[in-house]
Amino acid sequence: MTPPMTPPMTPPLPLPVLEADCSRCFGLCCVLLPFRASDGFGADKPGGQACGHLQADDRCGIHRDLVGSGWPGCAAYDCRGAGQQVSQVTYGGVSWRDQGNLAEMAAVLSVVRVLHGLLERLAGLDGRGVSALRDRIIVATAGSPEELLLLDLDDLEEDVAAAAA
């Protein structure tokens, strides 16, 4: 008699990079996010408007001395790798400069940053339930803008909190 077949092991889905890689980002935080001078940014800026220090190559003109220049908020901000994920995966390498809907892009950036934060919280945890939850979140990070904006983040956050408890 032929022995029963063992189901093939499904390899874990690759984790997105959870650290900022500005070289693969279009300076999204410098454009899409609103900020205030009173919060450690050198000027007030609405979301969807490029910071005056952002150069044409999407690099920061004062990056070497953000704190000394009066922009400690930028030095402290951590996109958790959402910038390059949204730039290269969600929008397939199309810059904000060529997008018609920066409000959508800003919302997507915020959602992906939350998802990356949830993946960070699952780091170091194991177990079948954790793996399935991690895979669910990884799949979500690769969604289209519409799919990302329709995610139930509260539901995912509850599941992560339960897994980490």
The distance of closest approach from Cβ of residue 95 to ligand SF4 in the complex, given in angstroms and rounded to an integer, is 15
Instruction: Decide if 156 contacts 119 (C-beta within 8 A).
Output: no
Among 47-55, 86-94, 103-111, 156-164, the segment contacting ligand SF4 (CB under 6 A): 47-55
- Per-residue contact string for residues 62-81; x = within reach of ligand SF4 by CB under 6 A: x--------x--x-------
Q: Which helix (H) or strand (E) holds 87?
A: none
User: What one-character-per-residue DSSP string does 30-74 give?
Assistant: HHHS-B-GGGT-SS-B-TTS--TTB-TTS-BTTGGGTTTTT-HHH
Among 8-16, 46-54, 94-102, 137-145, the segment contacting ligand SF4 (CB under 6 A): 46-54
With respect to ligand SF4, which residue has the nearer C-beta, 54 or 107? Answer: 54
CA distances from 84 to 11, 40, 63, 124 (A): 24, 24, 18, 23
Quote the CA–CA distance of 11 and 9 in Å, as a whole number: 6
Considering only 25, 28, 60, 86, the residue that binds ligand SF4 (CB under 6 A) is: 60
If one asks whether residue 115 binds ligand SF4 (CB under 6 A), the answer comes out as: no
Considering only 13, 15, 18, 54, the residue that binds ligand SF4 (CB under 6 A) is: 54
